[in-house]
Amino acid sequence: MMLKKCLILLALTYSQMAQGNLIPLPNKIESYQAESIVLQQKSQLVCPPEFKASAKVGLSHIELVNEAGSGTKIVVVKDGSIKKREGYVLDVNEKQITIKAKSASGVYYAMQTLKQLMYPKNEADGYYVPALKITDSPRFAWRGLMLDSSRHFQTIPEIKRFINNMAEHKLNVFHWHLTDGHGWRFESKKYPKLTEIGAWRMQPGYPTKGKKEKYGGFYTQEEMKEVVAYAKVRGVTVVPEIDMPGHCFAWVAAYPMTGCLEKEQGTDFFYTYPADAQRFPSKPGTDVLCVGKKETVKMCFDILDELMEIFPSKFIHIGGDEVNKSWWKKCKHCQAHKKNKGLKNERELQSWFIKQLDNYITKKGRRMIGWDEILEGGLAKNATVMSWQGEQGGIKAAKMGHDVVMSPQTYIYLDHGQSHSPQEPPHWPGHKPLDRAYSYNPIPPSLSKNEAKHILGVQGNVWTVFTHEEWLIDLCTWPRACAIAEVGWTEHKQQNWDDFYKRLKFHRTRLDAMGINYWWEESAELGAWANTKLLPDNKPVTLTFDVTGKISAGDNQINFQYTKGAHALNLHEVNLLEDGKIVTTDKHEGITGSEHRKNTYTLKLPKLNPKASYTIKAKVSGSEGVDSHGKVRLDNVQTKVLKKLPYE
């Protein structure tokens, strides 16, 4: 009896804590004086038929039934007076749980908030939910993540899991990068060689040296329709991308006539992880479509037809990024076409091609979106711009009256690193830690109120050059996608890093329950250095830090982090001393400045003596000057590596 009381108390405490730790933060929370209520394992759902599927999928860990049960019931009401399509009101009181929403998405989101409020364990006595009223709707209509299925291939269950994890964080656009140089993943019935040839490559040395099978795969049209339906019920729109006219190596390998070279080319030298990340391979072949030929343009239209048949989304992504135009300069077809159309240069040729796609997609009643290079040579009339190189493309397009999705690599590219720890797996160069992602405001201050209306929202991109398995995709996506979810959902004035980080610490229990493998590291500060501690002429000095009570048995990662000053700090050697005697040393050359190299030292302590005092001595020198300041930290990486992940 006593134990049961304790458990109830624990669950009640949890439910109150959960209320203060929602992610993304709802825009309005009002607490009732009443106690928490209990939601049974089996609860009655009263719901308009058109919302039922989203309600049930949204709260799938309890059984929602039609007939009255013994406990609290959930009543869903369609409410046209709610301003935004995805908005909802969630009212939890002693009598019942009431959800008001305008759309199935609103119902799904109310269920996600409810789920976050519930005790995450499957308690036999039911789930405790705090009595409250939440009135909520998103800041932006586009809250996306892109997943690159070309550089590395994900299975359909992996795709669905990615979408589900997004949706539970109220992210609502799954931008599916279906084609790129390294592999074509979209089944075309009209052009079967795209997948017969373009979907496969060799995998020398991985995972077993000399392994003969090819690496790759593709999605059948039926599978892609299944993904669309799976996403829809979770409020997620799938925006497909066929990247044109660059990033087309696999396409040209399948149909050599679509390239300027008109020669056979193979995809065999595109290795899988460790990545051969080159986008413009020096090997023979081209990754650019020959846009000077009518047949190429016709093929693009045909593929778009097939794509639009499968994906009902308003937006169709045509890529348009990083086109190596030197091929066109050497091509007689492209040059003749350029002359014919009176185009001044290759940038205008690219623009001409994109305009053809825009006209075609617009005629079909859809809207074309492309990466910000589509601004080059003149933006197509109806184009929406996805700003990735920074914010400038987005700002320019919004000022021209075009819609924009902000996805700048300077803040929220999820293939960039998020840590300085040597334990972080290989990633695309760049450092975009969690706080950087959270600090992003998709509305640049240089836009007027009217121009800002063109910012549809925000999107983080998961390029998979370095991520060949699902646990790695998880690791680069989470928890930064939590930050992106809040940037996209919560009103800007309500966003606060310290509060978010506190909530995220609690939210880890939910990420754990969801089986998400996320990057997590907490560092303890061991000390600092400043200009006054360094000697001129690059002379080495020894910095000493007392680390008693901070160090533990096993590997201790000591990280040197420059914070300010005109000079970097050279790092030579770090020792750990127990009662004044060296027990372990890491001797290697490192540097920390505006750029860092090998700035973490690993000190392995075989056994911790609780009575001993521990000191770190670091041999360092100023790099061409003494104006260097920084911090020394002990990094504690708590990330789990989950090789096996649960599916639904």
Q: What DSSP element (H or E) covers 335?
A: helix 332-340
In the bound state, the residue with its beta carbon closest to ligand ACM is 321
Q: Least distance to ligand ACM from the beta carbon of 538, Å?
A: 39
Residue 331, binding choice from ligand ACM, Zn ion, none, Cβ under 5 to 8 Å by partner class: Zn ion
Q: Does 277 bind ligand ACM (CB under 6 A)?
A: no
CA dist., res. 150 & res. 403, Å (int)? 27
Exposed, middle or buried, 475 (CB in 10 Å: 0-12/13-18/19+)? buried
DSSP readout, 541-601? Answer: EEEEEE-TTT--SEEEEEEEEEEESSSEEEEEEEEEEETTEEEEEEEEEEEESSSEES-EE
Q: Are strands 568-578 and 614-623 parallel, antiparallel or unpaired?
A: antiparallel
Q: Least distance to Zn ion from the beta carbon of 349, Å?
A: 9
Q: For residues 477 and 639, which CB has a smaller minimum distance to ligand ACM in the complex?
A: 477
Residue 371, binding choice from ligand ACM, Zn ion, none, Cβ under 5 to 8 Å by partner class: ligand ACM
Q: Least distance to Zn ion from the beta carbon of 357, Å?
A: 17
558: alpha, beta or left, given left = phi > 0 and alpha = psi -120 to 50? beta
247 catalytic? Reply is: yes
Q: Least distance to ligand ACM from the beta carbon of 388, Å?
A: 4
Q: Is 340 helix (H, G, I), strand (E, B) or coil?
A: helix
Q: Least distance to ligand ACM from the beta carbon of 563, Å?
A: 30
What's the Cα-to-Cα distance from 156 to each of 182, 222, 412, 438, 468, rounded to whole Å?
19, 11, 25, 30, 15
- The 554-564 sheet, strands edge to edge: 521-529, 629-637, 554-564, 600-605
Q: What is the dihedral of CA 433, 436, 437, 439, to 10 degrees?
A: 160
The answer to whether the CB of 390 falls within 8 A of the CB of 430 is no
CA dist., res. 216 & res. 209, Å (int)? 17
Distance of CA 491 to the CA centre of its chain: 20
Q: Least distance to Zn ion from the beta carbon of 301, Å?
A: 18
- β-partners of residue 525 are 633
Q: Does 371 bind ligand ACM (CB under 6 A)?
A: yes
Residue 388, binding choice from Zn ion, ligand ACM, none, Cβ under 5 to 8 Å by partner class: ligand ACM
From the list 152, 182, 247, 337, the catalytic residue is 247
Q: Are strands 97-101 and 73-78 parallel, antiparallel or unpaired?
A: parallel
Q: Does 249 bind ligand ACM (CB under 6 A)?
A: no
Identity at 246, one-letter amino acid code:
G
322 catalytic? Reply is: yes
Q: Does 333 bind Zn ion (CB under 5 A)?
A: yes
What's the Cα-to-Cα distance from 373 to each of 99, 390, 402, rounded to whole Å?
43, 11, 14
72 Cβ partners below 8 Å, 6+ apart?
37, 38, 39, 40, 43, 96, 97
Q: Least distance to Zn ion from the beta carbon of 226, Å?
A: 37
Query: Where in 250-269 is the site for Zn ion (CB under 5 A)?
Result: 260
The answer to whether the CB of 351 falls within 8 A of the CB of 341 is no
Query: Which range of residues in 88-96, 154-162, 286-294, 630-638 is near Zn ion by CB under 5 A?
Result: 286-294
CA dist., res. 163 & res. 237, Å (int)? 10
From the list 321, 322, 424, 469, the catalytic residue is 322
63 Cβ partners below 8 Å, 6+ apart?
41, 42, 43
Q: Least distance to ligand ACM from the beta carbon of 267, Å?
A: 19
Residues in contact with ligand ACM, counted by CB under 6 A, come to a total of: 4
Q: For residues 74 and 385, which CB has a smaller minimum distance to ligand ACM in the complex?
A: 385
DSSP readout, 575-588? Answer: EEEETTEEEEEEEE
- CA atoms 245, 251, 257, 261: torsion sign: positive
Q: For residues 263 and 581, which CB has a smaller minimum distance to Zn ion in the complex?
A: 263
Q: Does 322 bind ligand ACM (CB under 6 A)?
A: yes
Q: Does 321 bind ligand ACM (CB under 6 A)?
A: yes
Q: Least distance to Zn ion from the beta carbon of 294, Å?
A: 12
Q: Least distance to ligand ACM from the beta carbon of 60, Å?
A: 34
Q: What DSSP element (H or E) covers 393?
A: helix 392-399
Q: For residues 62 and 297, which CB has a smaller minimum distance to Zn ion in the complex?
A: 297
**Residues 144, 292, 457, 630: which binds Zn ion (CB under 5 A)?**
292
Q: Least distance to ligand ACM from the beta carbon of 322, Å?
A: 5
Q: For residues 292 and 622, which CB has a smaller minimum distance to Zn ion in the complex?
A: 292
Q: Least distance to ligand ACM from the beta carbon of 277, Å?
A: 12
Q: For residues 255 and 371, which CB has a smaller minimum distance to ligand ACM in the complex?
A: 371
Q: Does 390 bind ligand ACM (CB under 6 A)?
A: no
Q: Does 334 bind Zn ion (CB under 5 A)?
A: yes
Q: For residues 262 and 321, which CB has a smaller minimum distance to ligand ACM in the complex?
A: 321
Residue 290, binding choice from ligand ACM, Zn ion, none, Cβ under 5 to 8 Å by partner class: Zn ion
From the list 180, 241, 373, 635, the catalytic residue is 180
- 408 upstream amide cis, omega within 30 of 0: no
Q: Does 478 bind ligand ACM (CB under 6 A)?
A: no
Residue 333, binding choice from Zn ion, ligand ACM, none, Cβ under 5 to 8 Å by partner class: Zn ion
Q: Does 388 bind ligand ACM (CB under 6 A)?
A: yes
Residue 348, binding choice from ligand ACM, Zn ion, none, Cβ under 5 to 8 Å by partner class: none
Query: Where in 16-45 is the site for ligand ACM (CB under 6 A)?
Result: none
**Residues 89, 147, 290, 361: which binds Zn ion (CB under 5 A)?**
290
Q: For residues 292 and 488, which CB has a smaller minimum distance to Zn ion in the complex?
A: 292
Identity at 507, one-letter amino acid code:
H
**Residues 248, 331, 473, 484: which binds Zn ion (CB under 5 A)?**
331
Number of other CB atoms surrounding residue 530 within 10 Å: 14
451 catalytic? Reply is: no
Q: For residues 125 and 322, which CB has a smaller minimum distance to ligand ACM in the complex?
A: 322
Query: Which range of residues in 307-315, 330-338, 346-354, 482-490 is near Zn ion by CB under 5 A?
Result: 330-338
Q: Does 348 bind ligand ACM (CB under 6 A)?
A: no
CA dist., res. 297 & res. 303, Å (int)? 10
What does the radius of gyration of the chain's CA atoms come to, in whole angstroms? 27
Q: For residues 246 and 292, which CB has a smaller minimum distance to ligand ACM in the complex?
A: 246
Q: Does 133 bind Zn ion (CB under 5 A)?
A: no
Q: For residues 321 and 573, which CB has a smaller minimum distance to ligand ACM in the complex?
A: 321
Q: What DSSP element (H or E) covers 57?
A: helix 49-58
Residue 292, binding choice from Zn ion, ligand ACM, none, Cβ under 5 to 8 Å by partner class: Zn ion
Q: Are strands 541-546 and 428-431 parallel, antiparallel or unpaired?
A: unpaired
Q: Does 18 bind Zn ion (CB under 5 A)?
A: no
Alpha helices in 420-516 (DSSP H): 434-438, 449-452, 470-477, 480-489, 497-513
Q: For residues 330 and 453, which CB has a smaller minimum distance to Zn ion in the complex?
A: 330
Q: Which residues are catalytic?
A: 180, 247, 322
Which positions lie near Zn ion, rule CB under 5 A?
A: 260, 290, 292, 331, 333-334
Which positions lie near ligand ACM, rule CB under 6 A?
A: 321-322, 371, 388
